[in-house]
Chain A
Amino acid sequence: MAETHKPPEKFTLRLRRYDPEAGEAPYWDEHTIELEPHRSVLEAILQAKDRFDGSIGVRCSCRQAICGSCGIRVNGEPALACHTHLDAAKRSAKDGVIEIEPMGNMPVLKDLIVDMDAVHWKKIQRVTPWLIASQPVPEREYIVSKESMVDVTQTMGCIQCGACVSDCLAMEVDPGFIGPAALAKAYRFVGDPRDDEHEVRLRDLAEDPQGIYDCTHCFKCVEACPKDVNPMGQIMRLRRIAGNDFGIVDQNNGERHEAAYTTLVKDYGLNHEAELLPRSYGGNSWFGKFHPAAGKELLSSLPIVIKGVLRRKVNIKIAIFGHKLPKQDLKAVQAIYDKVEGRKERYELNLYITGEDEPKEEAAPLAAAQSSTEGSAS
């Protein structure tokens, strides 16, 4: 059996407090509690609240990671308080004291309580979050495949805790980004065969400059999610369905940019910075390079490029002439493309369904192939 039934130990919590009525800045508040090490951070907060200070503000209810109330930050990382063990939290603390703060990207109302309506729920409302059922409505249930309903269960499993929103880097830079939770919710309808408006939804989310192409693939939401919803993975699926299945080419160039990246990696084995912009605007043809929009975009990005060069993040030679991979390696990369592109149907790897340690035929090379396409647009 795992680490249960160890005797209680002392743990110190450092809580970020904020009292909106005091007219003072947020401050830190420490409490030492005593609990078995495998108990949750929520139980620790509640013990402090019950024994020492009932004014500590924290939303919570179920204590089993299903109601989604207790999203917080533990040692700087987003988490559900009830889903984080004290011993693990202590291990990840920088000085042995477990640091507890409210979630990010949302205004703090009091202590650990944030305004989810102002951010999270507004974004959910943005994606038309209800089924627009295909007509006519049958007398009994819609007949749909077993797999399709298991598939959308992954996004149905989202408990709206806000952990992914809290740490979304794209949202930090662009608060208008629809964001991981709402886009995962969008997949719940796009992946649902009973919904009648897949194309309308996808076009809307692709054309919105703060929609599916605004994600920067940082994986923060994937790590933050306590329910394995894999929000970024759902965003990538929305892109694949929009681009490959419906041929939606958005006016913000998200789709072409991603396609350019993918073909560049196929041609060169790695990204070719100098080619990326022209191809993103002009496609793969030679003339495309002179697309006026590409020049404009290049001009506007020059300050960033120069900064990159000065800070030695950009190597001018490689940026202009591209990477040179040994022939064998390049062939290996291209073999992946051949294999994936040679498939009759796109294979959507869904670890939620297959289980992570259940080796499935072809699972490994596919995962590699997918991460190369997913790691594309920037």
Chain B
Amino acid sequence: MPAHDVLIIGAGLAGQRAALAAAQTGASVAIMSKVHPVRSHSVAAAGGINAAISVDDDWHSHAYDTVKGSDFLGDQDAIEVMCSEAPKEVMDLEHMGVTFHRNEAGEMDLRAFGGASMKRTAYVADITGQALLHVLYEQLMRHHETVERYEEWFTTSLLKDDAGRCCGVIAREVRSGRMEAFTAKNVILACGGAGQAYKPTTNGLIVTGDGIAMAYRAGAPLMDMEMVQYHPTCLLETGILITEGARGEGAHLLNSAGERFMEKSAPNKMELASRDVVSRAEQIEINEGRGVGPDGAGIYLDVTVVPRKRTLEALREIVNLGRDFAGVDITREPIMIRPGQHYIMGGVKTDVDGRTPIEGLYAAGEVACVSVHGGNRLGANSLLDTLIFGRRAGEHAAHRAATMGMPSVDTRPHLREDSAMIDAIIAREGGNGSNRRVSEIKNELGEVMNKHAAVFRDEAGLQSALETIGRLKEEAGKAWIDDRGTVFNQDVLGAIELGFMVDCAEATVVGAIERKESRGAQFRTDFPERNDEEWLKHIDISLDGNGEPQVSYSPVTITQWEPEERKY
């Protein structure tokens, strides 16, 4: 049975960074992912990574912008850690081999991004996430003797010992169907968000809230789950993401009258206000009949105002996306976009070292909520979040491992339980009217979330969503699949993922009902104002003894920036 000091679940940026950091301290490290590491969804992050590396910049300015972007819900101690460590982290990555684009002087070039008071986003064309992910994977290949890789292994649950400490996981090798128990002194969850609970979403099909749900089921609290980011520029039809870098390079947003409507809600920053503000402004244009395209459901993003050579050099990927997925040459004509689900600010509650309240369990990246993003994440802060807190979690877990022996726990009952759970799904009969296909339930879940837990929310809609989710949860428990095999049985994994997504969706809706104010990404049409007196606090959600979500609160840490009115 495999045993490791540090076992990392998820091999996107947070996971790979954690693995490298832990391995550097000499710990025995393994990294496990349900897909090959370079398929992880960090690959899709396009625009860049924020760091106050310019000589004219100061990390305090970055931190203030982040606090303001979070609508003052972010924890300022954590934001200070992230922003002050950002420049060194970016330099370390550059030294590892990331091909950051340069200015004429040969230094790292910086581009403008939403909600930032100056240019501080380092980038690799518009494939920054891909470049970072592939370079980290180069490092994993380099250190293949010290970091063990379990590629295409699906984690089904977390193991806890009698004292309630996390001591490993149960996982299934996708290729063979073999079930295995992994013992570990520490487990770091780094397996991303839960975007697939929404339809449409910019997130990949693999982003199904696995880590959030597994931690939640193991007793860890979730925080800020109501805060769901809608990205302002997704292709109208397919929901594919167009990077904020486009607006960073100067692109405009236009309504059907050809007006730059951002003048109304963000007269100073215009298109580069923070994402919640821009998405809301777009949705208002659409709702009030000034949208473009079929049913007026879109907005024009006009990249033609950016010099063509610059677009080809710095926004290459979206030139291709426009051509291949919308049939539009963005260097010659505007393209139709709309807001779309993109990121969840919430997640498993952690401290600045990635520790969750469960001893031995860490979380980093989108799966976690430190909270550095609060009510709204700034563009290009997510890559930074994954790397800073991935590294910190890896280091902390490795040091903890050095102080303890390998946990001895009888894993056999857990292994049997998860094997039986999978066998039961495979054995389910279907098509007799008593149960539904996984895909049908998933579609309904996504549509409900996108209708009621989106840019604008209200009590009635959220309550009806909660009711639907309750039904879907039951249906998910008996959903049927076709594949009876063991080799690459993606069907059965889909059924498990559906369960994870339903849990995440439920927490999101419960949080959104609870928060009776409008802050960041949560806009309640029935409570349209921010209410610091009552709601300047985090909403934590845990499972109670009956498997029902239980709400509690935790304070927001304020170090140097008192809440103030938020204007862009």
Contacts and interface: CB of A to CB of B under 8 A. Distances in A.
B566 interface: no
A73 B94 CA distance: 36
A2 B312 CA distance: 20
A133 B95 contact: yes
B558 interface: no
B172 to A, nearest CB: 15
B482 interface: yes
A110 B174 CA distance: 11
Interface in A61-90: 61-69, 83
A143 B105 contact: yes
Interface stretch (B113-121, B249-257, B325-333, B353-361): B325-333
A133 B130 CA distance: 20
B488 A62 contact: no
Interface residues of A, number: 69
A160 B514 CA distance: 45
A192 B101 contact: no
A112 B333 CA distance: 37
Contact of A125 (B53, B105, B141): B141
Given A141-B107, A144-B102, A194 B326 contact: no
Interface stretch (B34-42, B62-70, B224-232, B445-453): B34-42
Given A63-B205, A146-B102, A4 B237 contact: yes
B487 interface: yes
B321 interface: yes
Interface string B313-334: 1001100110011111000010
Given A50-B439, A130-B139, A137-B95, A57 B106 contact: no
A110 B487 contact: yes
A149 B99 contact: yes
A139 B107 CA distance: 12
Contacts of A3: 327
A66 B91 contact: no
B501 interface: no
Contacts of B327: 1-4, 38
Interface string B261-275: 000000000000000
Nearest to B481: A54
Contact of B43 (A67, A131, A153): A67
A141 B94 contact: yes
Contact of A130 (B94, B141, B237, B313): B141
A296 interface: no
Interface in B411-469: 437-439
B44 A62 contact: yes
B13 interface: no
B142 A54 contact: no
A353 B124 CA distance: 14
A222 interface: no
B206 A61 contact: yes
A63 B100 contact: no
A68 B294 contact: no
B240 A68 contact: no
A61 B204 contact: yes
Contacts of A68: 38-39, 43
Nearest to A193: B106
A130 B124 contact: no
A238 interface: no
Given A57-B488, A83-B324, A355-B312, A66 B481 contact: no
Interface in B68-111: 91, 94-97, 99-109
A175 interface: no
Nearest to B494: A54
Contacts of A141: 91, 94, 100, 107-108
Interface of A: 1-5, 19-21, 38, 49-51, 53-55, 57-69, 83, 109-111, 113, 116-117, 124-125, 129-131, 133, 137-146, 148-150, 152-153, 156-157, 159-160, 188, 192, 194, 227-228, 352-353, 355, 358
28 contacts: A2-B328, A19-B485, A20-B487, A49-B439, A50-B437, A53-B482, A54-B483, A54-B491, A54-B494, A55-B485, A55-B489, A60-B205, A61-B39, A63-B204, A65-B321, A69-B39, A109-B175, A116-B36, A125-B141, A131-B97, A137-B95, A145-B102, A149-B102, A150-B125, A150-B313, A156-B99, A156-B124, A156-B134
Closest 9 CB pairs of A and B: A2-B327, A131-B97, A55-B483, A50-B439, A61-B204, A54-B482, A54-B491, A143-B106, A130-B138
Given A83-B324, A150-B101, A156-B127, 16 more contacts: A1-B333, A21-B487, A53-B482, A55-B489, A64-B44, A64-B321, A68-B38, A68-B39, A133-B97, A140-B91, A141-B108, A145-B102, A149-B101, A192-B99, A227-B320, A353-B312
